[in-house]
């Protein structure tokens, strides 16, 4: 009977929908992968509310002695959106509760009695539901970050003209990009008043696309540690084709 049924379904070259098997074909790898794309993975620890405890030192000293030595009166903290919290420097600790679980960028300013800033810091932390995130702010003198570059392994002052290099666009997280990018042939740019710690910089070598616009031809990245009161250094090694002479 099964052979007869199959034959009837194929009579005159016609396929009859009602004759199809009642059992669906097994899923293919592609269909399984497509279904998995619709499944969102949720990090349960990043839901709900937690708390943040911020502590600080001043020039390597505890607040009880460091605040007075630095002439600091208060610490201003930006943990929540909206108005910042200002607490006495000698308090040495601040706790924020009922903070939404998320990644936060905490601003911390060490202030004189007149409200002017001695040091300004930004630190990132992750708040997880039902947990406490501990952040320590090491208020210390800022440093600098010197970024230099070569082109095709040669000094920028020599090779930029050969490749038509115009300027170098520098950017980095929490870094203020130069208002006017340094020229390619300058070969160096220094970021001043940098918070001590680890920094990364992305640099893009550009050429003129038109008389008023530029386009990037090579991008390099580098990282360095900036010490308190000292200088970190990054060298970017750009590669670019030479112009036809």
Residue 35 has pLDDT above 70, yes or no: no
At 60-83, the pLDDT tens digits run 999 999 999 999 999 999 998 788
70 Rama class: left (phi>0) / alpha (psi -120 to 50) / beta: alpha
Burial of 149 (0-12, 13-18, 19+ CB in 10 A): buried
Residue 40 has pLDDT above 60, yes or no: no
Residue 128 has pLDDT above 80, yes or no: yes
Q: List the single range of 73-82, 131-140, 181-190 with lowest mean pLDDT.
A: 73-82
Sign of CA dihedral 219, 220, 224, 226: negative
Cα–Cα dist 232/172, whole Å: 14
- Say which residue, 39 or 185, is predicted with more confidence: 185
- Alpha-carbon separation of residue 11 from 2, 17, 18 (angstroms): 15, 13, 14
Residue 1 has pLDDT above 50, yes or no: no
Average pLDDT over residues 175-203: 96
Average pLDDT over residues 133-144: 96
Average pLDDT over residues 118-130: 94
How does residue 174 score in pLDDT terms, banded at 50, 70 and 90? confident
DSSP-based three-state secondary structure for 59: coil
Please report the pLDDT score of residue 46 as a whole number.
Answer: 74
Please report the pLDDT score of residue 245 as a whole number.
Answer: 58
């Amino acid at each position: 009977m099964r052979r007869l049924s199959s034959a009837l379904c194929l009579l005159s070259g016609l396929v009859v929908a009602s004759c199809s098997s009642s059992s669906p074909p097994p899923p293919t790898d592609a269909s399984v992968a497509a279904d998995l794309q619709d499944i969102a993975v949720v990090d349960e620890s990043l839901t709900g509310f937690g708390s943040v405890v911020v502590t600080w030192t001043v020039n390597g000293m505890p607040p009880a002695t460091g605040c007075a030595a630095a002439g600091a009166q208060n610490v201003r903290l930006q943990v929540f959106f909206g108005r910042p919290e200002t607490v006495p420097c000698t308090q040495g600790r601040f706790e924020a509760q009922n903070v939404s679980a998320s990644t936060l960028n905490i601003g911390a300013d060490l202030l004189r009695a007149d409200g002017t800033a001695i040091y300004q810091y930004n630190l990132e932390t992750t708040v997880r539901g039902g947990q406490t995130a501990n952040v320590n702010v090491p208020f210390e003198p800022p440093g600098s970050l010197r970024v230099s570059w070569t082109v095709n392994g040669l000094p920028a002052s020599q090779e930029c003209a050969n490749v038509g290099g115009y300027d170098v666009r520098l950017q980095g997280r929490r870094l203020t990009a130069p208002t006017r990018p340094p020229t390619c042939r300058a070969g160096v740019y220094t970021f001043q008043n940098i918070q001590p710690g680890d920094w990364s910089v992305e640099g893009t070598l550009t050429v003129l696309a038109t008389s008023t616009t530029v386009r990037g031809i090579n991008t390099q990245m580098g990282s360095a540690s900036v010490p308190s009161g000292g200088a970190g250094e990054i060298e970017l090694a750009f590669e670019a084709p030479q112009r036809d002479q």
